[in-house]
Chains A and B, each alone.
Chain A
């Protein structure tokens, strides 16, 4: 049976995290939930979190409706994904499922996303990754977590069947009928949208979104498709090497 780690960057109490965990359990996967004890949006692939004693501290949590091990970890999500890949929570996960994030993560700005950072870490550590974000925008009337989770569920089996290293970024419009959408392959917008943390953990500051959609005209980009109410899916890569510029390369 496949094992998955469920994490996020909004923190252990986020209903988006719980919705994602619930569909992974329904799908029959071995699920461990380990998420930041407090908001870590915008943490990218940061591995901040070890305490002054050099240890990563966590506590067990009961989450209603989730009959699986759950941990609130005092660390950024990528650190959680990294230690998970080295057995910190039992079996090494075959995939890291990160989200469902409150707010879209699209375009090249996903570099800064904690949601995406955890998924990329899953991919870089020999497993796979899926980042899921709900495009709640500025004035959400409702948060359609369950619809987004149902849509994400359809991607779990193909992800687990894909080669290790595969990382997917899924963005879902905030619609009650989102479960019926078909995720569309999308390119990354030049900048896009990323969520970050505006105040110190737990102080209830504003939700800060960094967005730049100027000069965004490509109809196939995640920004365009999502704005048009479509769900977008992009296979992304983490750090890799490329050719040195002319003059610095030795042939």
Chain B
């Protein structure tokens, strides 16, 4: 039995130049959303399996790197160009040398991936569906079918997707959906940043097909919609060294706790602590379980009240006009 199965359709090869002395250091890693989540889950002590496509030379390297990190890999191996990037960080900031999207998955590759996910999910406690880094690698509808089929198998499904992929996954039905307020703003689901708006958007996502919804808002308290409950989860605000990957840390910690049969609220609280800790240090997908648990003690949860308020439009008010019998 594996704790967590991650669908990572196209893991990346990442090459990064670092260091300020001449020449610098060369770092070669596997990457992409699902991989960062897998790494974090390993740090938290979970067993992790990845189903993904591994393409060409870079794919072979990525597959080995994942294996070395103790991640079980169920590869769909193919020829062609795999996704990769080369970044130069020797100046202190990230300069893109090359970013390669990789070849789209063929119908045959997709069928194989699909079958591997369903097969491996039978042996996992929980499944994460993650997205590829680039558009056009696979059709959005795969997420709808996967979500529906996995749930039919009785496996909890967690998604960290946005836009059309999220919509597709919700149409299939998921256990937990995680989005950020920035993604909702991009999708025009919200305009401002009020708790009201975010809660309303979260309820719409729930109604579209999620048992629970987490909306992260960077340093602001995150919103959890769990059935009829709306909650604000607050963690002490941290000075940001590197805000990237906070969402992945959060999701991994949440899934880690769920795989250990913790309650959703407890899982989200741990996730908030992991996200907060992540912004205080460099490096994606790293975390210190000790520190996360210590920070967890300072996470507070409050119910978002309804305040007995009603909002009506003038039209609705007109429709409420009533003649009472005397």
Docked-complex contact A209 and B194, CB < 8 angstroms: no
Which of B192, B232, B314, B315 sits near A229, CB closer than 8 Å? B192
**Could you tell me which residues of chain A, from 202 to 244, have a CB within 8 Å of some CB in chain B?**
206-212, 214, 226-229
- A180 located at the interface, meaning its Cβ lies under 8 Å from any Cβ of chain B in the complex: no
Docked-complex contact A139 and B305, CB < 8 angstroms: yes
> Which among B197, B230, B309 has the greatest number of chain A C-beta atoms within 10 A?
B309
Q: Which residues of the partner chain B approach A226 to less than 8 Å between Cβ atoms? A: 192
Q: Which residues of the partner chain A approach B325 to less than 8 Å between Cβ atoms? A: none
**Cα distance, A251 to B199, chains bound together (Å):** 58
In the complex, the chain B residue whose C-beta lies closest to that of A224 is B191
- B308 located at the interface, meaning its Cβ lies under 8 Å from any Cβ of chain A in the complex: yes
Docked-complex contact B195 and A141, CB < 8 angstroms: yes
In the complex, the chain A residue whose C-beta lies closest to that of B223 is A139
In the complex, the chain A residue whose C-beta lies closest to that of B193 is A229
**Could you tell me which residues of chain B, from 188 to 236, have a CB within 8 Å of some CB in chain A?**
191-197, 199, 221, 230, 232
Q: Which residues of the partner chain A approach B192 to less than 8 Å between Cβ atoms? A: 226-229
The tally of residues in B whose CB lies under 8 Å from a CB in A reads 25
Q: Which residues of the partner chain B approach A227 to less than 8 Å between Cβ atoms? A: 191-192, 194, 197
Q: Which residues of the partner chain A approach B194 to less than 8 Å between Cβ atoms? A: 135, 137, 173-174, 227, 229
Docked-complex contact A141 and B232, CB < 8 angstroms: yes
In the complex, the chain A residue whose C-beta lies closest to that of B234 is A141
Q: Which residues of the partner chain A approach B199 to less than 8 Å between Cβ atoms? A: 139
Q: Given A139-B199, A228-B191, A211–B312 Cβ distance below 8 Å?
A: yes
Docked-complex contact A211 and B311, CB < 8 angstroms: yes
* Chain B contact residues: helix, strand, loop or mixed: mixed
In the complex, the chain A residue whose C-beta lies closest to that of B302 is A141
- Give, as a whole number of angstroms, the nearest-CB distance from A2 to chain B: 35
Docked-complex contact A206 and B191, CB < 8 angstroms: no
**Cα distance, A137 to B315, chains bound together (Å):** 20
- Give, as a whole number of angstroms, the nearest-CB distance from A120 to chain B: 21
Q: Which residues of the partner chain B approach A208 to less than 8 Å between Cβ atoms? A: 309-310, 312
- B313 located at the interface, meaning its Cβ lies under 8 Å from any Cβ of chain A in the complex: yes
Docked-complex contact A138 and B317, CB < 8 angstroms: no
Docked-complex contact A210 and B193, CB < 8 angstroms: no
Docked-complex contact A210 and B312, CB < 8 angstroms: yes
Docked-complex contact A207 and B314, CB < 8 angstroms: no
- B304 located at the interface, meaning its Cβ lies under 8 Å from any Cβ of chain A in the complex: yes
- B324 located at the interface, meaning its Cβ lies under 8 Å from any Cβ of chain A in the complex: no
- Give, as a whole number of angstroms, the nearest-CB distance from B258 to chain A: 26
**Cα distance, A174 to B194, chains bound together (Å):** 8
**Cα distance, A206 to B310, chains bound together (Å):** 7
- A191 located at the interface, meaning its Cβ lies under 8 Å from any Cβ of chain B in the complex: yes
B158-200 vs A, Cβ < 8 Å mask (1 yes, 0 no) = 0000000000000000000000000000000001111111010
Docked-complex contact A139 and B308, CB < 8 angstroms: no
Q: Which residues of the partner chain A approach B135 to less than 8 Å between Cβ atoms? A: none
Which of B191, B195, B306, B311 sits near A209, CB closer than 8 Å? B311
Q: Given A137-B194, A228-B192, A212–B306 Cβ distance below 8 Å?
A: no
- Give, as a whole number of angstroms, the nearest-CB distance from A165 to chain B: 30
- Give, as a whole number of angstroms, the nearest-CB distance from A112 to chain B: 10
Given A138-B309, A207-B308, 20 extra CB contacts under 8 A = A138-B196, A138-B311, A139-B199, A139-B230, A139-B304, A140-B195, A141-B305, A174-B194, A198-B310, A207-B309, A209-B311, A209-B312, A210-B317, A211-B311, A212-B313, A212-B315, A214-B313, A227-B191, A227-B194, A228-B191
Which A-B residue pairs are the 4 nearest by beta carbons? A137-B196, A207-B309, A227-B192, A209-B311
Chosen A-B contacts, 21 in total, with CB atoms closer than 8 Å, are A135-B194, A136-B307, A137-B195, A138-B196, A139-B199, A139-B305, A139-B307, A140-B195, A141-B221, A173-B194, A206-B308, A206-B310, A207-B309, A209-B309, A209-B310, A209-B311, A209-B312, A211-B313, A212-B314, A227-B192, A229-B193
